[in-house]
Structure 1
Amino acid sequence: MLLLAPQLCAADITIWYSHQSESFIEGLVSRFEQETATRVSLVQFEPEKIKAEIILGAQYGGVPDLIFVPSDFLGLYRQMQLEPIPEQWLSTELAQDARETALVDGSYWGVPIIQGNHLMLFYNKQYVANPATSWKSIRTSVTQFQQLHLMPVGWNYSDMYYLVPFLSAFNGRPIYGDLISLNTPAMVQALNFYHQLAQDNVVDGNCDYNCSQKLFIKGETAYAINGDWAYQDLKRELGDNLGVTLLPTVEGKVMHPMKSTFVFAIPEKSRDGSNKKEHIRHFLKFVQRKDNQEWVYQSHRLLPVDQKLFNQVVKQATGDELVILKQLQLAEQMPSLTAMAIAWQAMKKGYLRFKDGLSAEEAAAYMQQLAFTQQQRLQN
C-alpha cells in the first residue's frame, strides 16, 4: 500500500529508503538533526517494493522529498519523475567512478553517498574452520552439516541480484552496453546450476532475505551470502565467530557480484516554499561531508565515495576489511540505465516461470521477450 507524504507533514524533510542497514540511515539523519535542528521523517521499504512505490507515488501523488536507493534506479528517472541534481551540489571530492553512477543521459539524478553494495560469503567459525573456495567443496559438506542440523548456505534465493554472480561465472551479463542479453547459453547454465543447489539442499529455495539472515545469526546455517551492508550487523551478533571470504568458484570459474552506489535522489513535486529546497540542499551537502563519510565507515563499515577517504581506507585495511575490498575489486559495476531496470524485472518474471516448470531454455527466452516488449513500450 502506498504511503502518502501528508502522513509525515510535521517534518522539514521526508525520506523513503530501502537500505538494509536501518541503523546507518537513522544514525546519519540523527547527526544531521542534531547539528541543524531540521526535522527529518524516515520511511523504510523492503528493497523489492520501494521501486513500485516511488513510481506509483510519481503518478498519483504522495512522493517524499528525498529517496535513498541503489544507483541503478536512476535509469528510471522519467518513470520516477526525478529532478536533476545541480552539478555544484556534488562534492568536489566525489570519486569519479561513483560520480558516473549518478549520470544518466547527460544529467545527474542522484547524489552518491556510499559504494560497494556487493555480495560476499560469510561463515560461522563455530562450524567452519577453513572456508570453502568452491561450490563443489560446499556440496561435499552437505551431509556433514545436515548431521549438525544445519542448512549449508542461506541467501535471498528468489532475488535476482543473487543470481547474477552465478550468471557471471558462466561468462554472462544481464546487459552489454545498453543491450539486454538474457536469452543466452550462460543464462541457461546459471539457472540450472542455481536450481540444482536448492534441489540438493545446499540452500533453502523458499528462504527470503529476512529468513536467511535470521537463520545465520541463530547459528542454523554454516554460510550466508549477503552484502557488505550486512557486515556490521552480523559482526555485532556473531562477534569473533563471524568470518568473511570471497564468493566460491563455480566449476573453477570466479563469481563476479555486481556493485553500485547508494544515492539520494529528489522526486519531482511541488515545493512548499524555498525553505524546502534549502533543507534538501543542506542535507545533501551534509551527508557528503568528509567527517560524516568517515563516521559512516567507522560505524557501519560502508565504503565511502569520498576519493581521498576511500584511498585511506584501502591503505589502512586489515582482516575482514581486506576481504571486503578484494571482493569489491572482483565486482562489476551495475549500469544506471533503463535497460538494467528492465532486465531486473524480466529476470524476476522469467525466473518465476522457471520455478513453476518452464525449462531453463524456455525461461531465458521468456526473459528476453519480456525485456524486448517493455523496451518497445517505453520507446512508444
Structure 2
Amino acid sequence: MKENKKEILIWHEFDGPGDTSIEVLEEICKLYTERFGVRVTPQVMNITELIVGLNRIKETHQGPHLALVPADMTAYVENGLYSEVPGELFANVLTEGVLSTMQINGVQYGVPVLRGNHLVVYYNKEIYASAPMTWDVFEEAAPKLFAQDIVPIGADLKQSYWFIPFLSAFGGWPVEAGKPNIATPEMKQALKFIRDKMDQGVLVSLDGSTELLEQFIEGKVGAIICGEWIYNHLDKHMKDKLAVCQLPVIEGRQSLSMSSSIGLIYPNHSLLSEEREDLLSFTRFMLSDECQSMWAVNVQRIPAHEGVLKRVAASTTPNKKAILSLLDNTRPMPTHPFMIQVWDSMNAGLVELSSSNAEQALKKIDETIQGALSSL
C-alpha cells in the first residue's frame, strides 16, 4: 500500500436503507486509496442537503473536490462553480449520448458513471398473476385487494420525479421550446387523476426511500412505481415474488419516465486546483472495466461503460433485462438551468395537492414558478 498524503473528498446521496449503491462506492474509494496513495473519502448526505451544499459554493467557496450526482444537478453549474470537463478523455468508454446527459449548452460539466435512473413498475407476483401494464388492472383488482388490506399501487407523490409518468400520460412535459411548461391543462389533469385515485384508495403516496419499499416488501402494497436504482434491495428481500414491467397505460396513453445518468461533477473549480490529475485519475478508475463491473454485479446498477453494459445485458436475469429494455421507453431528463425552479415548483404543487385539490395545486405551481423566474 502506498502512503496516503493527499485526500479527495466526494459528496454523494446514496442514503436510505434501500440504496445499496453506497457499498460499491465505498469499496471503490477504498481500492483507489490503497492502490494510488490518494485517500478518497466519500461523504453521504440526503438529496436536499446535497442540493443546498452545492448551491452555496459560489457564496462560500467551500465544497468537495468531487460530487456523485444525478445528471440534472449539472444545472447547478453557476452556483456550484463546476469545472468544465475534458469529455474527450472518456469518449473511448462513453457514447456521445451518455456524455450528453451531463452537458449544458453543449459544454461538458460532468462524467456519467451510471446510466438509467428511470422509473419502472415493480409488482408482487403473489398479488398480480400477470404484469399490471394498464391502470385498469389496478382499478379492477381494488375491491379484492381492499378486502385483504392491500393497496393496489404506491409511489412517492410528493416528489416531482415520481409524478412525471402521470404528467406524460396526459400529454404533458415540463419543458416546451426551451422554456418551463408546467402551469398547463395537462398538469391539472394529471394532478386531478392522482388526487382522485388517492381518495379512492387505489393509489397511495409513501416516502420513496423507506415506507414505500417496506410496505411493498411486506405485501401491503401490490405494486409500486420506483427507480431502477432500488432493484438490488427489492431483489434481495423478495426473490421470486418480485417482477418488473413497464409503467402503466393511463386512459389509453403510455406513461413515460425520464432517464438520465449519475456522474461525477467537479465543484469549486476543482479541476483548476493542484488535485486536477488525481481527480481525473480517480474518474478514469471509476470508468474502468473493474469498477463498472462492480456496480453491475454487486448492486445491479446500470454501468455507463458501453462495453460492460453489453456484457451484462447478455447474461443477466429476466427482471434485470426488463429494466434495461425499459430504457427504450423513456425521455431524456432536461438539464436546462431553469430546471432547478421547475422541480421546486412541481414539488410545491404536490405538497399542496396532499391536503388540497388539483386546482389549488396548479395555482401553487404557477405562483412558485412565476416567482422563481422573475427573480432570476
Q: 1:147 to 1:361 in 2, by over 3 A?
A: closer
1:44-79 per-residue CA deviation (whole Å, 9 max, x = no partner) reads: 222243212221344235411111111111112001
Q: CA deviation at 1:213?
A: 1.1
Matches within 5 A, 1:28-43: 28-43=28-43
> Are the counterparts in 2 of residues 28 and 292 from structure 1 also a CA contact under 8 Å?
yes
Task: Determine the C-alpha separation between the residues in 1 that align with 2:169 and 2:338.
Answer: 21
The Cα offsets for residues 120-169 of structure 1, whole Å up to 9 and x where unpaired, read as: 11112232221312122112222322332323223222111111111000
Residues 86 and 164 (structure 1), Cα distance of their counterparts in 2 relative to 1, 3 Å cut = same
2:348 is aligned with 1:349? yes
Distance 1:326 1:235 in 2: 18
Instruction: Quote the residue 2:69 is aligned against.
Output: 69
Corresponding position of 1:5 = none
Instruction: Say which is worse superposed, 83-92 or 259-268, in terms of deviation.
Output: 83-92
CA deviations on 1:195-238 (whole Å, 9 max, x unpaired) are 12211112333544311112222332221211111111111111
Unpaired stretches in structure 1, ≥5 consecutive residues: 1-8
Counterpart residue number, 2:338:
339
Residues 91, 288 of structure 1: 8 Å contact kept: no
When residues 186 and 10 of structure 1 are mapped into structure 2, their CA distance, relative to the original with a 3 A threshold, is farther
Alpha-carbon distance change, 271 to 169 in structure 1, aligned in 2, over 3 angstroms: closer
**CA distance 1:33–1:203, change in 2 (3 Å):** farther
Which residue identity lines up with residue 133 of structure 1 in the other structure? M
Secondary structure of the residue that 2:240 maps to in structure 1?
helix
Q: What SS does structure 2 have at the residue aligned with 1:82?
A: coil
Q: How do 1:140-179 residues align onto structure 2 when only pairs under 5 Å count?
A: 140-179=140-179
CA distance in 1, matches of 2:149, 2:208: 20
Q: In the alignment, what sits opposite 1:6?
A: none
The aligned residue for residue 320 of structure 1 is: 319
Cα contact 1:126–1:241 (8 A) shared by 2: yes
Shift of 1:263: 1.1
1:54-112 deviation per Cα after TM superposition (whole angstroms, max 9, x unaligned): 21344235411111111111112001221221234434221111111122134211111
* Aligned mates of 1:271, 1:143 — CA distance in 2: 58
1: CA distance between counterparts of 2:68 and 2:53?
Answer: 13
Q: Evaluate the alpha carbon distance shift between residue 33 and residue 214 of structure 1 in structure 2; reply closer, same or farther with a 3 A threshold.
A: farther
Q: Which residue of 2 aligns with 1:15?
A: 10
| Rounded Cα–Cα distance in structure 2 between residues aligned with 1:206 and 1:311 | 35
Shift of 1:314: 4.3
Matches within 5 A, 1:205-244: 205-244=205-244
Compute the RMSD of aligned alpha carbons.
2.4
C-alpha distance in 2 between matches for 1:207 and 1:278: 40
Aligned residue for 2:210, secondary structure, equals helix
Distance 1:92 1:63 in 2: 30
Question: How far apart, CA to CA, are the structure 2 residues paired with 1:250 and 1:42?
Answer: 41
Aligned counterparts of 1:353 and 1:11: Cα–Cα separation in 2: 48
CA distance in 2, matches of 1:239, 1:364: 40
Which residue does the alignment assign to 2:188?
A: 188
Identity of aligned residues (%): 23
Conserved in 2, the CA contact under 8 Å of 1:158 and 1:208?
Answer: no
Paired position in structure 2 for 1:119: 119
Q: 1 CA distance for matches of 2:43 and 2:219?
A: 30
Give runs of aligned pairs for residues 271-282 of structure 1, distance below 5 A.
274=274, 276-282=275-281
For residues 106 and 252 of structure 1, what CA distance do their matches in structure 2 show? 36
Shift of 1:372: 3.4
Distance in 2 of aligned mates of 1:107 and 1:271: 15
Correspondence 1:291 to 2:290:
yes
Contact 1:70–1:261, Cα closer than 8 Å, also in 2: yes
The residue number in structure 2 matching 1:251 is 251
Q: Match of 1:320, SS?
A: helix
Once the 2 structures are TM-superposed, how far is the Cα of residue 113 of structure 1 from its aligned partner? 0.6
Q: Work out the CA distance in 2 between the residues paired with 1:375 and 1:64.
A: 29
Q: Is the deviation greater in 177-186 or in 252-261?
A: 177-186
User: Which amino acid letter does the alignment assign opposite residue 143 of structure 2?
Assistant: T
Q: Distance in 1 between matches of 2:160 and 2:337?
A: 17
Per the alignment, in what secondary structure is the counterpart of residue 173 of structure 1?
Answer: coil
Q: 1:50 to 1:337 in 2, by over 3 A?
A: same
**Separation in 2, partners of 1:177, 1:309:** 36
- TM-score norm. by structure 2 comes to 0.90
* Counterparts in 2 of 1:364 and 1:96: CA distance versus 1, 3 Å: same
Q: How far off is 1:185 after superposition? A: 1.4
Q: In structure 2, what residue type is equivalent to 1:14?
A: L
Q: Structure 1 residues 117, 270: closer, same or farther in 2, change over 3 A?
A: closer
Give 1:35 shift.
Answer: 3.0
Q: Is the 8 A contact 2:122 2:243 kept in 1?
A: yes
* Alpha-carbon spacing, 1:31–1:234, altered in 2? closer, same or farther (3 Å): farther
**SS of alignment partner, residue 54 of structure 1:** helix
1:283 CA drift (Å): 0.7
Q: Give the unaligned 5+ runs of structure 2.
A: none
Letter in 1 for 2:321: L
AA aligned to 2:344 is Q
Between 101-110 and 165-174, the greater mean CA deviation after superposition:
101-110
Which stretches of structure 1, 4 residues or longer, exceed 6 Å deviation after superposition? 270-273
Equivalent residue pairs, number: 368
Q: Which amino acid aligns with 1:144?
A: K
State how far apart, in whole Å, the 1-side matches of 2:114 and 2:164 are: 21
Query: Secondary structure, in 3 states, of the residue corresponding to 2:212?
Result: helix
Q: Which moved more, 1:311-320 or 1:87-96?
A: 311-320
